[in-house]
Amino acid sequence: MVKDTNILLVEDDTFLGNIYKTKFEMEGFKVTHVENGQDGFDTAKKKKPDLILLDILLPKMDGFVVLTKLKADSLTKEIPVILLTNLGQKDDVEKGLEMGAADYLIKAHFKPSETVAKVKKVLGI
């Protein structure tokens, strides 16, 4: 069930972040949007969301560093993380998945509605 499902969106592009936030809220999700990696990590520890959508190219701390810290922390290691980025090189995709990401979505290839569908799939709802 989507109601009461909390998503943490870590995206430095305010415009894009708002598009995703709006789309997820229309689907019934609760969304917290932060715009840098450090805030993403701190917010994940505080709120313990059901899933994290994580950009890779971020100010303060890049997404790979955030992912590493999340997976190393006992409070956050079980939270599924979907990398949402424009870095589409095979090496980046493989690196993200090897580091523990549940999935890897290239922004240019996925509409927000498809991203919602991926999130539901990962969460089993």
pLDDT for position 1: 63
- Asked whether 58 and 33 are in contact (CB, 8 A), the reply is no
- CATH number of 82's domain: 3.40.50.2300
pTM: 0.94
Tell whether 76 is covered by a domain: yes
- Residue 1 belongs to some domain of the structure: no
pLDDT level of residue 106 (50, 70, 90 thresholds): confident
Residues 44-89 have pLDDT tens digits of 999 999 999 999 999 999 999 999 999 999 999 999 999 988 876 7
Q: What per-residue confidence (pLDDT) applies to 9?
A: 97
Give 120's contacts (C-beta < 8 A, 6+ positions apart).
2
Give the pLDDT confidence score for residue 10 in this predicted structure: 97
- What gap in Å lies between CA 56 and CA 67, rounded to an integer? 9
pLDDT at position 112 over 80: yes
| Encoded tokens for 32 | 């917290």
Average pLDDT over residues 35-48: 97
Mean local confidence (pLDDT), 7-13: 96
Structural domain count of the chain: 1
Domain of 108 in residue numbering reads as 6-123
Provide DSSP, 14-33. HHHHHHHHHHHHHTT-EEEE
